[in-house]
Amino acid sequence: MTALPEPGDLAIHTTGLGKSFGKRRAVNDLDLAVPRGSIFGFLGPNGAGKTTTIRMLLGLATPDSGSISLLSEPMPAAASRVLPRVGSLIEGPAFYPFLSGRSNLIRLDSANHESDASTRGRRVDAALDKVGLGKAARLAVHAYSLGMKQRLGIANALVNVRELLVLDEPTNGLDPQGTREVRHLIRVLATEGTTVVVSSHLLSEIEQTCSHVAVMSVGNLVAQGTLEEFRADGRRVVSLRTPDTGVALAVLARLGLEARQDPVPGGQDGVLDAALGPEAPEPERLVEELVAAGVRVRGFTVQAASLEERFVALTGEGFDLVQ
Amino acid sequence: MSSSGLLANEVALLFRRRRTWAMLLALGAVPVLIAVAVRLTSGPPTGRGPAFLDRVAGNGLFVAITGLLVCIPLFLPLTIAVVSGDTIAGEAGTGTLRYLLTAPVSRPRLLLVKFAVAALFALAAAAMVALCGLGIGALLFPTGPVTLLSGTTISAPAAVLRVGLVALYVAVSLLGLTMLGLFISTLTDVPVGAMAATAVLAVTAQILGQLPQLDWLHPWLFTQHWLGFADLLRDPIRWSEFGQNALLQGGYLLVFGALAYGRFASKDVLS
Ligand SMILES: Nc1ncnc2c1ncn2[C@@H]1O[C@H](COP(=O)(O)OP(=O)(O)O)[C@@H](O)[C@H]1O
Ligand SMILES: [Mg+2]
């Protein structure tokens, strides 16, 4: 949307990233730029290519094309240097069911060749406490609920101090309380200087936490920038309440607005909605024209299109936003 | 700093799994069953049943040898197939592979650690049969100086050492299969599939080894020397078969180790 930050200030920078599965293009020519210190919302409907992108970022999958710079180092070449500085949750948590939550985290941390064995237990316990699993730490994971597993997955990302956290759908399966806690945790981490990438198909997660967003749709990046830019880019919508809907429709049409009549239960007034394009006249001009044409204006509002409408406009209607 | 951290953790994990102990106990039960059966009957007539069986009643130390001999065609390979087939595919199946690799552990190191743990299991499995055999043999039968296949007699402690050597021979014999299982395990995200394929290969190789028409193939089968530990029970010990076996198993380690690395290093981890 606007000029991108300098590459040195980017925690993640991809150019022309692409990946196909057979004939299906999962990620196509992706130029992602995640500024350091941002809370970056990585948005897109199911199947948009978010997880595939994250797998490539973390060196799990090899891109067909393009390049990746993670914390200013090339991936996957520098994986063993970079990954210790990155915490991740990728397509849901995964643990050995017969081990306790704590043992699972100990095991994964012992795989990290840079982690300090002497502080391991303490770091794991602190991470478990951070996500509210302190009491369930010694319980076998098969006895965990989905939400508890999700928390454990987030705890795993927090066992070490990280410069970058990549959390793929972190609130999947969490109750509203858990969702709020995760959002809070993300904000706290960000104020401590960690860059956090949160992928989600749920818009509501993004708009409450993030400073930046990128939107993917069927493998393509369709928008990227700060949340303000993303909002401002949306069109405004006017809403008119009047009994003279016929005349009003004609007037709006003459001014180049395509109005839609909303059904209003039980009133004699009709309500017309129209999107204000960049070429549309100012709202006060609309009212002037309407009144001049004899339309009885009983209500007139101008609103920025909601983020959700913007999201749908970018990604298409074909999926359930609020599942 | 903690380069051995993962290895230690994986070893502890192996011996923490119920599955491991179920397999080890089942293996340990084999010599016990043999000993009890021999004890209850008055012992089979010479010349029938597995080799060495007729010697069991005379000296308990032979229970361990007979146990190993009975376990090596099927029971031991089956347990090796389970452990080695699970190495990578099991991690992929539970999804933990992606978290190990992003922890991060490098792919070659993960393969090495996984192989080391599976090889350790092979050693533990052979040792289990030998130890249970020695224990039950001492309990149910007379022990004492042992007459070897060459006719010479050695003391009981020296004979125990020979049993240890045979167990080591058996463990080494299983290394090729272990690496084969590891390679197969990199090919799939379904551990049961890798286990089954490995077990089938072990059986198939033994069947091929029985077909005289395939003489030319026999020296290359990893099962070729599986039953060839009799030379360790002579005086002096003849090491040639041990050497050939070690060389063959080493060749399998190199070839299938390289294949496993080639496959795993470039594999997209999508599980
Ligand atoms: N292992 C795979 N094999 C084949 N196709 C895949 C695989 N993983 C993902 N895809 C395809 O890639 C596309 C993007 O998937 P994904 O990255 O998981 O999307 P998201 O995480 O945004 O929901 C989808 O069309 C999906 O079907
Ligand atoms: Mg996904």
Alpha-carbon span B24 to B127, nearest angstrom: 10
Q: Does A49 touch chain B (CB under 8 A)?
A: no
pLDDT of residue A233: 65
Identify residue A89 by its one-letter amino acid code. Answer: L
Chain B, window 102-121: residues with a beta carbon less than 8 angstroms from a chain A beta carbon: 102-106, 109-110
Q: What is the pTM of this model?
A: 0.87
What local confidence, expressed as pLDDT, does residue A320 receive? 43
The amino acid occupying position A7 is P
The answer to whether B268 contacts A55, with C-beta atoms less than 8 Å apart, is yes
Please say whether the beta carbons of A312 and A321 come within 8 A.
yes
User: Is the separation of the CB atoms in A15 and A50 below 8 Å?
Assistant: no
User: For a substitution probing ligand 1, which of A51, A89, A203, A220 has the most ligand atoms within 8 Å of its CB?
Assistant: A51
Give residue A175's pLDDT. 86
Please tell me if the CB atom of residue A18 comes closer than 6 angstroms to any atom of ligand 1.
Answer: no
Measured CA to CA, the distance from residue B210 to residue B226 in angstroms comes to 13
Residue A313: the pLDDT is 74
**Nearest C-alpha to atom 4 of ligand 1 is from which residue?**
A21
Domains along chain A with CATH numbers: 7-232 (3.40.50.300), 236-304 (3.30.70.260)
d(CA A12, CA A35): 7
In this prediction, residue B105 has a pLDDT band, given cuts at 50, 70 and 90, of very high
Which of B19, B99, B100, B189 is the best mutation test for A, with the most CBs of A within 10 A? B99
Question: What are the Cα distances from residue A167, in Å, to A50, A157, A298, A312, B263?
Answer: 11, 8, 48, 23, 28
Our answer on whether the CB atom of A61 is closer than 6 Å to any ligand 1 atom is no
Q: Does residue B158 surpass a pLDDT of 60?
A: yes
Tokens describing residue A221: 């990046």
Per-residue DSSP letters for A217-255? Answer: ETTEEEEEEEHHHHHHTSPEEEEEEES-HHHHHHHHHHT
Residue B47: predicted pLDDT: 60
| pLDDT attached to residue B32 | 96
ipTM above 0.85, yes or no: yes
Residue A322 has a pLDDT of 32
Chunk chain A into consecutive blocks of 10 residues (it has 323) and report each block's average pLDDT, rounded to whole numbers.
62 96 93 94 92 96 96 94 95 94 96 92 95 93 92 94 94 85 87 92 80 92 86 76 89 85 74 80 88 91 75 64 33
B191 inside domain: yes
**Any domain includes B271:** no
Note whether residue B132 is domain-resident: yes
Looking at every residue in chain B, the average pLDDT score rounds to 92
User: Does residue B270 lie in a domain region?
Assistant: no
Q: What is the pLDDT of residue A266?
A: 67
**Are B226 and B252 in contact, with CB atoms under 8 Å apart?**
no
Nearest to B103 among A98, A99, A111 (CB): A111
CB distance from B4 to chain A under 8 Å?
A: no
Q: Is the pLDDT of residue B46 over 70?
A: no
Mutate to test the interface with B, among A90, A112, A160, A169 (most CBs of B within 10 A): A112
Q: Whose CA is nearest to atom 9 of ligand 1?
A: A52
User: From the alpha carbon of A44, which atom of ligand 1 is closest?
Assistant: 22
Read off the pLDDT of residues B65-94 as tens digits, 9 standing for 90 and up.
Answer: 999 999 999 999 999 999 999 999 999 999
pLDDT > 90: percent of chain B: 80
Q: In this predicted structure, what is the pLDDT of residue A319?
A: 45
- Provide the strand spans (E) within chain B: 146-147, 153-154
Name the residue of chain A whose CA is nearest to B95's CA: A94
Its domain, for residue B60, covers 5-265
- Which residue, judged by its Cα, is nearest atom 18 of ligand 1? A51
pLDDT in tens, A39-49: 999 999 889 99
**Paired strand residues for A304:** A236
For residue A14, CA distances in Å to A283, A287, A289, B167 come to 41, 47, 50, 55
> One-letter amino acid identity for A134?
G
Does A48 contact ligand 1 (Cβ within 6 A)?
yes
B96 touching chain A per CB within 8 A: yes
Neighbours of B33 (CB within 10 A): 12
pLDDT score recorded for residue B226? 93
Whether A152 and A104 have beta carbons less than 8 Å apart is answered as yes
Using CA atoms, how far apart are residues A246 and B63, in angstroms rounded to an integer?
102
pLDDT in tens, A46-105: 899 999 999 999 999 999 999 999 999 999 999 999 999 999 999 999 999 999 999 999
Q: Could you write out the DSSP letters of every residue in B167-206?
A: HHHHHHHTHHHHHHHHHHHTT-S-HHHHHHHHHHHHHHHH
How many domains, in total, are found in chain B?
1
> What's the CA gap between B134 and B61, in Å, rounded?
6
> Is residue B102 one of the residues assigned to a domain?
yes
Tell which residue, A61, A62, A81, B267, has the closest CA to residue A70. A81
Say yes or no to pLDDT of B43 above 60.
Answer: no
- Residue in chain A closest to B271 (alpha carbons) equals A91
Which residues, including other chains, have CB under 8 Å from residue A282's CB and lie 6 or more apart?
none
* Residue among A21, A30, A315 whose CB has most ligand 1 atoms within 8 A, to mutate: A21
Partner-chain contact A60 B95, CB within 8 Å: no
Q: Tell me whether residue B30 is in a domain.
A: yes
